[in-house]
Amino acid sequence: MADKILIFGDGQIGNFYLNHFSSLGTPASITSADITDVKQINQAVNDYQPSVVINTAAKTNLEWCSQNQLLAFQVNVLGAANLAEVCDQNRIYFIHFSSGCIFQSDSSADAKKESDTPAPAAFYSWTKVWSEQMVVFNRSPGFKYLILRPRQPVSSQISPKNMLIKMLTFTKFVDTPNTGTVLEDLMDWSYQLIKLRATGVYHVANSGWSTPYQIGLLLKKHILPDLPVEKISKEELDRLTPNRRVDTILDISRLQSLGIKVTPYRQRLEEIIISLKDNIKLTPPNQLSEIFAETAASSRQRTVVNQCYTSLFQ
């Protein structure tokens, strides 16, 4: 029988899934149910009767989570537990989004495996660790769950949540290696993981690594020639941002061991930046203006914003 997929979280990754599964002809829907409310979850599940639930719902802004810790805990941790419980009771395959930012790597060689001990640096990252624990806590032996840990998602889509759109408003870039997840590729890996009914924890990222500085140079080359790409030290970044950003390299051999093909990050980065350029050209200027205004407002909370991104829509 074909899968029927119910997605919680009407954000960047939730909508990526909706579009992807819809394009494949796989029935999928995003529910507006509040994951802190078990009644609403049960209602959504009873109405849609899914075989797979994907939880992309979360409070994802680091600064917001630090300032609203109780609310962040309620959504990111207790909300995930609520969903896991309902899926366990209804024998639904449950996919939960955690994050690679629960780790800190010292160098590009310091790749973290799924079994390594997390070392969260921000309250948000703690909530992702606790969410993983609550997904598996007190479940029945037959409960089928999959925990995905992406890292710094990027895509060719015009969204204030897309890290590449955020970077188009920046001026300062660190040159520290980081793993990244191309969302277009994550869709394909997820489809395969669902077909396999993979269970447990998986790092979902492209192979190799890049640095924010290298990404800044690619954005300057392909999209915004005036982008000021100033290389700064990690110490300077830490002085700028209210919440320290970690560097994370994820070991993805567990994903690859399933026979899933993963393309190098740097190759995919350049490809999606070129597609992003095309998407920017296709987007009406007033829409771009709104998206970049929202992005720049969020960027101002953590860095110095440039003056030239407006040339993309003026």
Ligand X SMILES: NC(=O)c1ccc[n+]([C@@H]2O[C@H](COP(=O)([O-])OP(=O)(O)OC[C@H]3O[C@@H](n4cnc5c(N)ncnc54)[C@H](OP(=O)(O)O)[C@@H]3O)[C@@H](O)[C@H]2O)c1
Work out which of 17, 50, 79, 158 binds ligand X, going by CB under 6 A: 79
> What is the smallest separation between the CB atom of 311 and ligand X, expressed in angstroms?
26
Give the H/E segment covering residue 29: strand 28-31
Work out which of 3, 34, 184, 294 binds ligand X, going by CB under 6 A: 34
The piece of 54-62, 189-197, 262-270, 300-308 that touches ligand X (CB under 6 A) is 54-62
Please say whether the beta carbons of 240 and 172 come within 8 A.
yes
Distance CA 299, CA 303 (A): 6
Residue reference for tokens 């490809």: 271
Which among 152, 154, 163, 174 has a CA at the least distance from the CA of 101? 152
> What is the smallest separation between the CB atom of 85 and ligand X, expressed in angstroms?
15
Work out which of 50, 153, 208, 212 binds ligand X, going by CB under 6 A: 153
For ligand X, the closer CB: 127 or 306: 127
How far is the CA of 133 from the CAs of 37, 56, 61, 126, 130, in angstroms? 19, 16, 21, 11, 5
83 binds ligand X (CB under 6 A): no
Which among 140, 131, 255, 249 has a CA at the least distance from the CA of 193? 255
Work out which of 7, 9, 62, 206 binds ligand X, going by CB under 6 A: 9
35 binds ligand X (CB under 6 A): yes
> What is the smallest separation between the CB atom of 152 and ligand X, expressed in angstroms?
6
| 49 C-beta neighbours (distance < 10 Å), count | 10
For ligand X, the closer CB: 24 or 71: 71
Kindly write out the interface string for residues 267-286 of this chain, putting x where it contacts ligand X by CB under 6 A and - elsewhere. --------------------
Work out which of 53, 75, 168, 182 binds ligand X, going by CB under 6 A: 75
Residue nearest to ligand X (CB): 11
Please say whether the beta carbons of 114 and 252 come within 8 A.
no
Distance CA 311, CA 289 (A): 10
The piece of 10-18, 199-207, 258-266, 304-312 that touches ligand X (CB under 6 A) is 10-18
Enumerate the β-bridge partners of residue 29. 6
Catalog residues that contact ligand X under the rule CB under 6 A: 8-14, 34-36, 56-60, 75, 79, 97, 99, 150, 152-153, 161
